[in-house]
Amino acid sequence: MVSAGVPAAPEHQPALSESRLLFFRSTPLLASLSDTDLRLLAFLVREVEIPAGDFVLREGDTGEDVFIVKDGELQVLKGDPGRALHEIARLGVGASVGELALLDAGPRSASVRATRPTTLYAFSPREIAGADGPPELLRQLSRALASRLRFTNEVTVRLLQLQVAAARFIAFIIFTLSIYAFALSVLTRYAARTASSTLVTVSLMFVMTAAVVNFVRRLGFPRGFYGLTVAGWRRAVAESLVATVAVCALIVVLKWVILRAGASSGHALFEPFAAMNTAASGQRSAAWWLAMALLYTLHAPFQEFVVRGCLQGALQEFLRGTYRQSVAVVGSNLIFSAFHLYLSLGFAIVTFLPGLLWGWLYRRHGTLVGVALSHVLIGLWAVFVVGIEGVLL
């Protein structure tokens, strides 16, 4: 029954009311209401336009309005003691916020911000109750409140899981980098005695194996978390090959510039055996060159698994903030470059550049297929064809 205290709808609004009726019937919050109740609500709500970046609600402020997203997207944020805001959810068309106003007019429990220009339907449960509005609406809001509390519990559990995983990740980084530093000190002493620096690189990666496997086992994330998936591999491979061709060309240009500048005399533009230590091997053996190239081909994908799949993937998951993706790419790539410091500072700096490319490709596609292929091709070209490491300080 519609109360006499609720004003009748103006004659020029029926089309608008029908439009709202159809929309409200499709929203989870109001789906159980009758047509009579929905028709009444359609005339009680008001539209609110929110520009991108503006707040709908602020944590701690008072308010009693409930909002339903008509168009756009909302970002639910929770503040910490340091006043930093952390995203806990994103809400699209048909979602609702502010249902806690049904209980009291106390402070808002979270902040809500529009990620892009957003249109909301707003109404006050207290105004509806005061106007003898539909009791089913208030009951449905109570159900929505219970659902929101269950969602909050799920979010809390998820955050606790992430906190435990992040703590394990920090411990992994500390122990792994410490082991790496000791191993690097030992292996560097023997780098000059080996037939190829590839032997040292592979040995160094084997030192990381136990720590990485233990890290993966303890975190308990699915294989796709580490990029071990073939989803979207065709596009990933296509983009990686295009980027690979460009980087290979730049490597040739870089060595040509170095040779033209006279910084390294006695070198040719292409030196397939530059990676071979003839003083240790005694000869430039094609079979030995092929064996080292094959060994490099086998270990490069594992290196991508460690750096991109484990380190970058974990940082992307645990970090928060606007630039978390960029920080994950750069941070993991710094470790990747450090893997090559035993060769030379110049070589470590040069490897940082394609590493940024591989980090960006991994962030874009979420699979190791493309970046591993690109790493293998660029590494073989740079080390076993051009011989770039021989002219870098």
Query: Tell me, what's the pLDDT at 14?
Result: 44
3-state secondary structure the chain: CCCCCCCCCCCCCHHHHHHHHHHHHCCCCCCCCCHHHHHHHHHHCEEEEECCCCEEECCCCECCCEEEEEECCEEEEEECCCCCEEEEEEECCCCEECHHHHCCCCECCCEEEECCCEEEEEECHHHHHHCCCCHHHHHHHHHHHHHHHHHHHHHHHHHHHHHHHHHHHHHHHHHHHHHHHHHHHHHHHHHCCCCEHHHHHHHHHHHHHHHHHHHHHHHCCCHHHHCCCCCCHHHHHHHHHHHHHHHHHHHHHHHHHHHHCCCCCCCCCCCCCCCECHHHHCCCCHHHHHHHHHHHHHHHHHHHHHHHHHHHHHHHHHCCCCCHHHHHHHHHHHHHHHCCCCCCHHHHHHHHHHHHHHHHHHHHHCCHHHHHHHHHHHHHHHHHHHCHHHHCC
* CA dihedral of 142, 60, 87, 122, whole degrees rounded to 10: 50
Which two tokens mark 246?
């460009």
The percentage of the chain sitting over the pLDDT mark of 90, rounded to a whole number, equals 27
What's the rounded mean pLDDT across residues 81-88? 76
* pLDDT(194) > 60: no
What's the rounded mean pLDDT across residues 194-215? 64
Return the number of other C-beta atoms located less than 10 Å from residue 107's C-beta. 12
Query: Tell me, what's the pLDDT at 375?
Result: 95
4-38 pLDDT per residue, tens: 333 444 444 444 457 778 888 888 777 777 777 77
Q: Which residue has the tokens 């380190």?
A: 311
Query: Tell me, what's the pLDDT at 357?
Result: 94
- Distance of CA 292 to CAs 119, 200, 275, Å? 62, 11, 9
Return the number of other C-beta atoms located less than 10 Å from residue 113's C-beta. 20
- Distance of CA 173 to CAs 106, 178, 287, 314, 346, Å? 44, 8, 38, 11, 25
100-123 pLDDT per residue, tens: 666 666 688 789 999 999 999 998
In degrees and rounded to multiples of 5, residue 214 shows phi and psi of -65, -40
What's the rounded mean pLDDT across residues 87-91? 84
* pLDDT(327) > 80: yes
In degrees and rounded to multiples of 5, residue 55 shows phi and psi of -90, 135
The Cα–Cα gap between 65 and 53 comes to 20
